[in-house]
């Protein structure tokens, strides 16, 4: 069993039934894995939520294991942002925070945008391409 931390676009696609994400995540659950989110995901999802999507959004998010952003994780996120800035890479605060949650809890991050998560120590799950339908 593995625990997969979901990147926000993956959550949004699953909630909205796009790109086969819901089916892909369901296949992970069938394999007895767990799906997770953190406070950054919740904030980003609600910031872009459609007015009529509150019930579906809440139900989906509450179905995920929730990981807190602790003081130690916040510090790690800041250190990652600083480290990559010194290398000439500007990373967004939400992305380094999600990365820090994954690293601190030994979670595999599910994303379709590896460029936002360049840390070699971060374990990523390659998503399949978008549906052709």
Give the residue extent of every domain in the chain. 3-126
73 pLDDT tier (thresholds 50, 70, 90): very high
The two tokens of residue 51 are 């007015």
36: enclosing H helix or E strand: strand 34-38
pLDDT at 127: 83
Res. 56: pLDDT tops 80:
yes
Q: Select from 47, 72, 82, 73 the least CA-distant residue to 61.
A: 47
Would you say the pTM of this structure is higher than 0.85?
yes
pLDDT at 116: 93
Please tell me the total number of residues recorded for the chain in this structure. Answer: 133
Average pLDDT over residues 60-68: 97
pLDDT at 102: 98
52 pLDDT tier (thresholds 50, 70, 90): confident
Q: Select from 55, 52, 51, 58 the least CA-distant residue to 11.
A: 58
Residues 6+ apart with CB under 8 A from 68: 38, 39
Res. 133: pLDDT tops 60:
no
Res. 131: pLDDT tops 70:
no
CATH fold for domain 3-126: Rossmann fold (3.40.50)
Report the mean per-residue pLDDT for the chain.
93
Res. 132: pLDDT tops 70:
no
User: Cα separations (Å) of 57 from 17, 20, 53, 90?
Assistant: 12, 17, 6, 30
């Amino acid at each position: 069993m593995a625990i997969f931390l979901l990147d926000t676009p993956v959550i949004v696609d699953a909630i909205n039934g796009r790109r086969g994400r819901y089916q892909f995540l369901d296949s992970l659950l069938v394999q007895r894995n767990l799906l997770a989110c953190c406070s950054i995901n919740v904030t980003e999802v609600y910031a872009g939520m459609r007015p009529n999507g509150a019930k579906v959004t809440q139900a989906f998010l509450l179905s995920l294991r929730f990981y807190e952003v602790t003081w130690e994780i916040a510090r790690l996120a800041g250190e990652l942002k600083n480290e990559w800035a010194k290398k000439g890479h500007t990373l967004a605060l939400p992305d380094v925070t999600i990365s820090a949650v994954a690293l601190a809890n030994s979670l595999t991050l599910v994303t379709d945008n590896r460029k936002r998560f360049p840390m070699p120590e971060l374990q990523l799950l390659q998503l399949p391409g978008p549906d052709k339908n």
